[in-house]
Structure 1
Amino acid sequence: MADTQRRGRRIMMTPAELDEFLTARRTCRVATVSADGAPHVSTLWFAWDGKSLWLYSITRSKRWADLRRDPRVAVVVDAGEEYGELRGVEVSGSVEFVGEAPRTGEPHPELDAVERLFARKNFGLEEMPHDGRHAWLRLTPESTASWDFRKLASL
C-alpha cells in the first residue's frame, strides 16, 4: 500500500500542469446523485478559470434536476487512449447556480469573463450565444485528485 501511495504522489499533476490541462480540455463527465440515490453520469463542455470549473448545463436535464435537489457533484476530465498516456483530474464539491436560469444574456458581471472564455474555447466566438435552454453552474473544488501515467516511464 505504501508503494502505491508514493507512486500516486509521483504521478500527480503539479498545480501548473493541472491548470494547463483543465484550460486545454473541453469535455468533462459530471456525476450527480439521483432522487433515488443512484449515481447519474453525463458528459458536458466546461471552462476552467484557474480556480473554478464552469459547467453550462441544459436546465431541463436530469443533471440539473439532480443538482437542484443535491448540489454535490464529482467531475472527471481525462485524456489518453493507451495505459501509459492516461491523465486526468477529478474535482468534487458542491455547485453554485450563477445567473438566471435559463440564461438569456441579462447583464451579470460575474459571468462576463467566463462567458468570453467559454465562447472562445467551444464556439470560436468572442461573445456567448444564449439559447434560453442552458444556465451556469460553478464548481469550486473542495477536493482534487490528478494523475498523469506518462510520468510512470520515469519511475
Structure 2
Amino acid sequence: MSRRDQIRMTPDEITAYFAEQKVINVATMNPNGRPHLAPLWYIPRGGGVATWTYRKSQKVANLFRNPQATVLIESGESYEKLRGVSMECDVEFVEDTDAVAQIGLAMAMRYAGVDGEPADAPAELKAGILKQAPKRIGLVFTPTKIVSWDHTKLGGRY
C-alpha cells in the first residue's frame, strides 16, 4: 500500500474532521489571475460546507465571476500530527434573506457551543443574526474533488 493510501481519510473520517475543526481557508481567483485567500467560519453541510459572508466582499465578487473555489481545512503542529482536507468545489449562492439567516444562525450556535436546531436558538441570538442577514450572502461549497491526509495513521513512522 502506498503512503498516500495509508494517510487518506475515509468519508466518515472526513465528516468527523469537518465537525471538529473551526476554520476553512477559501481560495478564489481575483480579476488579475492571482488567488484570493480568506479564512471563514463554517458549518458542515452534506459532503461539503456552508458559510455566510458580506455580499460586497472580494471573495463574493470573485465567485460571481467564477463560482468555483478551493477549500482547505487543516490542523497539526508537527509532521506526525498533520491532518487536512482540500476540496475543489462548485459554489452555490444563497440569497434569500431567511435562508441566509438560517446559515448564520447555525454558525452562531456552533461557535457559541449552543446545541440544537436554529429554530431553538435563544431570541437575542436570532435577533442579532436577523439584523446581519440582509448584508450577507450564503455560500455552499460542494466538492467535485477531495484530497485528504491524516499523518497520525502512520504511527510516527515516516
TM tier, shorter chain?
0.7 to 0.9
* Residues 73-84 of structure 1: pairs in structure 2 closer than 5 A: 73-84=69-80
Give the % identical residues: 29
Deviation readout 1:106-149 (Å, 9 max, x if unpaired): 3x4x974x555323212345265131332201111111010001
Residues 99 and 111 in structure 1, CA contact (< 8 A), matched pair in contact too: no
Residues 71 and 89 in structure 2, CA contact (< 8 A), matched pair in contact too: no
Matching of residue 43 in structure 1 with residue 39 in structure 2: yes
What TM-score results when the alignment is normalised by the length of structure 1?
0.82
Matching of residue 11 in structure 1 with residue 13 in structure 2: no
Unaligned 5+ runs, structure 1: none
SS at match of 1:23: helix
Which protein is richer in helix relative to its size? 2
Unaligned 5+ runs, structure 2: 115-120
- Between Structure 1 and Structure 2, how many residues are aligned? 144
Distance 1:122 1:69 in 2: 30
1:138 maps to what in 2? Answer: 140
Matching of residue 118 in structure 1 with residue 107 in structure 2: yes
2:117 maps to what in 1? Answer: none
Residues 11 and 152 in structure 1, CA contact (< 8 A), matched pair in contact too: yes
Residues 9/143 of structure 1: CA separation in 2 closer, same or farther (3 Å cut): same
Distance 2:59 2:30 in 1: 8
Residues 93 and 143 in structure 1, CA contact (< 8 A), matched pair in contact too: yes
2:19 maps to what in 1? Answer: 23
1:66 maps to what in 2? Answer: 62
